[in-house]
């Protein structure tokens, strides 16, 4: 059996009208680092939607393509596209075998999309997926509460670095994108 490339940390923060999403660059095969600078963040819809993925890389790219199709079919409506993707992902015999999760971010909303049909709009403007997600989420929530003067991008960066210090499947090679309008 071939080892699956997976494990990462993806974090999105919506704070004071700003949205930032970031991820580390590490991909592992089993317990070995396969690559340290994978780009897990993608801009869609001319930069109005940003998506991050965790899980199997090939599976995530398949889902990103499907999500982009849904965005195009539903007038770039992120929530509607995510719901339609989740419905197809859950019911399609091929898609339901895919092992990945997505965070999608637009200027005023964050969503987590999973293969179980879930489309979650997280509380408190923080969304996290991947192996280090709970570390990054806890750090981001603390920053929102105790350092509200920070920009969303700064919160994402600091929280991901904290997660990388704790989670062995997360590194410090970060890619962070913002929605600017």
Q: Look at residue 1 and tell me whether its pLDDT is greater than 70.
A: no
Q: Give just the sign of the alpha carbon dihedral 84, 85, 86, 92.
A: positive
pLDDT of residue 70: 96
3-state helix/strand/coil string of the chain: CCCCEECCEEEEEEECCEEEEEECCCEEECCEEEECCCCCEEEEHHHCEEEEEEECHHHHHHHHHHHHHHHHHCCCCHHHHHHHHHHHHHHCCCHHHCCEEEEEEECCEEEEECCCCCEECCHHHEEEEECCHHHHHHHHHHHHHHCCCCCHHHHHHHHHHHHHHHCCCCCCCCEEEEECC
Domain ranges for the chain: 5-179
CATH 3.40.50.620 fits 5-179, yes or no: no
pLDDT of residue 180: 78
More reliable by pLDDT, 93 or 171 = 171
8 is catalytic: yes
Average pLDDT over residues 15-38: 92
Structure tokens at 114: 């999973």
| pLDDT tens per residue across span 71-113 | 999 999 999 999 999 988 888 877 777 888 899 999 999 999 9
- Find the catalytic residue in 4, 8, 57, 104: 8
Confidence of residue 5 (pLDDT cuts 50, 70, 90): very low
- DSSP β-ladder status, 41-44 and 32-35: unpaired
| pLDDT tens per residue across span 42-78 | 999 999 999 999 888 888 888 899 999 999 999 999 9
Q: What is the pTM of this model?
A: 0.93
More reliable by pLDDT, 180 or 164 = 164
């Amino acid at each position: 059996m071939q080892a699956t490339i997976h494990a990462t940390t993806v974090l999105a923060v919506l704070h004071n009208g700003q949205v930032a999403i970031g991820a580390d660059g590490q991909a592992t095969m089993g317990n070995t680092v396969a690559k340290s600078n994978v780009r897990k963040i993608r801009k869609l819809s001319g930069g109005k939607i940003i998506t991050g993925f965790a899980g199997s890389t090939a599976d995530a790219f398949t889902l990103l393509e499907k999500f982009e199709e849904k965005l195009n079919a539903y007038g770039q409506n992120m929530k509607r596209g995510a719901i339609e993707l989740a419905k197809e992902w859950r019911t399609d015999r091929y898609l339901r075998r895919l092992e990945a999760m997505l965070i999608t971010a637009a200027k005023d909303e964050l969503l987590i999309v999973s293969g179980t049909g879930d489309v979650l709009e997280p509380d408190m403007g923080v969304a996290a997926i991947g192996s280090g997600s709970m570390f990054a989420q806890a750090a981001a929530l603390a920053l929102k509460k105790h350092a509200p003067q920070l920009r969303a991008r700064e919160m994402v960066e600091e929280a991901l670095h904290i997660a990388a210090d704790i989670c062995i499947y997360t590194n410090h090679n970060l890619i962070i994108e913002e929605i600017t309008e």
